[in-house]
């Protein structure tokens, strides 16, 4: 029986009894080899010192679209894989033969002609002759494409959940949690840049909707939600691409302006104030005029984000006290 024979009933093979146990069966080395090479779903292969195949399992041959494993003898990865991939495997095998150290569980990716990818978990070992001399390599690989796809799907789902955890559901803007994360990140960057002599500050605009409580009390909370979404859309549309708009709670918003001095931030705030004033909420049968009040602060004046936020809030209250629909 050759190493490439089909499955064979064990009961048809001669069995040697183990003297220690009259009921045991000692399986021959040939039978074990045949079992591995013919029935393993993992690929198994043996290579000489030139990385040429000398023995291959059925699963390995079938992976190359070859019916008879004997057809692989004398061939190498160069005959089946892209050149860059094949050269990399040959280098790895040379290193294994040089050091005697196996390579366990390496994840490999192979792009098929159709453009899709197949993933393998591969292990390679030195191949020794009867005298203990390394004469080649042998290895196994397992198709882990489905597992890899499941991992990628899980990673994408986790990424989406992470993104949603930083998004305000009503307005679609970044939420309060995201606001504090971005503020801390901006402050850390400023502090690093200052140490190397680059003073590029950043600013904060805080704002709320004037007389929003009366909108809710008069027109109801559903319409109040429409107002929240409307203001969010106007701010997001007309803010600079480098700025980030947040809804930090209720009818309160914040805008982080990177690479900005106080004068430029106030000019941007005034621009947005006018845009909101000129963009009533259209309800088809009526238009609701809306205005916002805004407070502005700059990090370079505080070097502490808590004080910076507090300063912007105080300026917002001053704008309210001065008559609303103002930037202070």
Q: For residues 282 and 159, which has the higher predicted lDDT (pLDDT)?
A: 282
Residue 127: band (very low, low, confident or very high) from pLDDT cuts 50, 70, 90 = very high
Percent of the chain surpassing pLDDT 90: 66
Which pLDDT score, from 0 to 100, does residue 131 have?
93
Which pLDDT score, from 0 to 100, does residue 225 have?
94
What is the 8-class DSSP label of residue 14? -
Q: What is the mean pLDDT of the chain?
A: 89
Class of domain 166-321: alpha beta
Q: Are 235 and 245 in contact (CB under 8 A)?
A: yes
Q: For residues 21 and 323, which has the higher predicted lDDT (pLDDT)?
A: 323
Q: What is the largest CA-CA distance in the chain?
A: 104
Residue 9: band (very low, low, confident or very high) from pLDDT cuts 50, 70, 90 = very low
Whole-number CA gyration radius for the chain: 35
User: What pLDDT, in 10s, does the model give residues 236-257?
Assistant: 999 999 999 999 999 999 999 9
Which pLDDT score, from 0 to 100, does residue 317 have?
97
| Calpha distance 151→119 (Å, rounded) | 12
Which pLDDT score, from 0 to 100, does residue 6 have?
38
301-308 average pLDDT score: 93
Q: Please tell me whether residue 322 adopts helix, strand or coil conformation.
A: coil
Q: Is the pLDDT of residue 11 over 80?
A: no
Which pLDDT score, from 0 to 100, does residue 21 have?
60
| Calpha distance 69→58 (Å, rounded) | 6
Neighbours of 82 (CB within 10 A): 13
Class of domain 40-149: alpha beta
User: What pLDDT, in 10s, does the model give residues 146-199?
Assistant: 888 898 888 888 887 887 788 999 999 999 999 999 999 999 999 998 888 887
Q: Is the pLDDT of residue 224 over 80?
A: yes
| Calpha distance 2→103 (Å, rounded) | 30
Q: Is the pLDDT of residue 7 over 70?
A: no
Which pLDDT score, from 0 to 100, does residue 13 have?
41
Tokens 């494993």 belong to residue: 69
Residue 36: band (very low, low, confident or very high) from pLDDT cuts 50, 70, 90 = confident
Domain boundaries, the chain: 40-149, 166-321
Q: Among 7-11, 76-80, 274-278, which is the least confidently predicted range?
A: 7-11
Q: Is the pLDDT of residue 278 over 50?
A: yes
Q: Is the pLDDT of residue 25 over 90?
A: no
54-70 average pLDDT score: 92
Q: Is 203 exposed, middle or buried (0-12, 13-18, 19+ CB in 10 A)?
A: buried
| Calpha distance 229→129 (Å, rounded) | 75
Which pLDDT score, from 0 to 100, does residue 81 have?
86
270-282 average pLDDT score: 97
Nearest to 254 by CA among 207, 212, 294, 300: 207
User: Helix (H) and strand (E) counts for the chain?
Assistant: 9, 13
Nearest to 269 by CA among 305, 293, 242, 233: 293
Which pLDDT score, from 0 to 100, does residue 28 have?
86
Which pLDDT score, from 0 to 100, does residue 18 have?
53
280-289 average pLDDT score: 87
Q: Is the pLDDT of residue 2 over 70?
A: no
């Amino acid at each position: 029986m050759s190493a490439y024979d089909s499955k064979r009933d064990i009961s048809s093979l001669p069995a040697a009894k183990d003297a220690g146990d009259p009921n045991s069966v000692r399986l021959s080395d040939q039978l074990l080899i045949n079992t591995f090479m013919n029935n393993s779903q993992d690929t198994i292969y043996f290579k000489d010192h030139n990385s040429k195949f000398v023995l291959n399992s059925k699963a390995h041959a079938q992976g190359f679209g070859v019916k008879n494993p004997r057809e692989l003898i004398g061939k190498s990865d160069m005959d089946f894989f892209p050149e860059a991939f094949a050269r990399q495997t040959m280098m790895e095998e040379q290193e294994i033969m040089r050091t005697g150290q196996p390579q366990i569980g390496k994840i490999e990716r192979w792009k098929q002609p159709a453009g899709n990818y197949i993933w393998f978990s591969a292990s390679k070992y030195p191949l020794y002759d009867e005298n203990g001399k390394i004469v080649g390599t042998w290895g196994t690989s397992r198709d882990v494409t489905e597992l890899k796809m499941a991992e990628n799907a899980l990673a994408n789902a986790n990424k989406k959940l992470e993104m949603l955890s930083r998004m305000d559901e009503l307005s679609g803007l970044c939420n309060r949690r995201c606001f504090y994360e971005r503020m801390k990140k901006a402050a850390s960057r400023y502090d690093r840049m200052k140490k190397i002599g680059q003073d590029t500050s950043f600013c904060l605009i805080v704002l709320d909707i004037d007389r929003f409580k009366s909108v809710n009390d008069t027109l109801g909370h559903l319409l109040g939600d429409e107002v929240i979404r409307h203001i969010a859309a106007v701010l997001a549309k007309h803010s600079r691409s480098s700025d980030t708009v947040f809804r930090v709670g209720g009818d309160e918003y914040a805008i982080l302006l990177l690479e900005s001095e106080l004068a430029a931030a106030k000019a941007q705030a005034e621009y947005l104030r006018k845009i909101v004033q000129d963009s009533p909420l259209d309800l088809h049968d009526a238009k609701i005029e809306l205005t916002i009040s805004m407070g502005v602060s700059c990090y370079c004046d505080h070097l502490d984000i808590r004080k910076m936020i507090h300063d912007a809030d105080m300026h917002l209250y001053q704008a309210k006290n001065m008559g609303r629909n103002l930037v202070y």
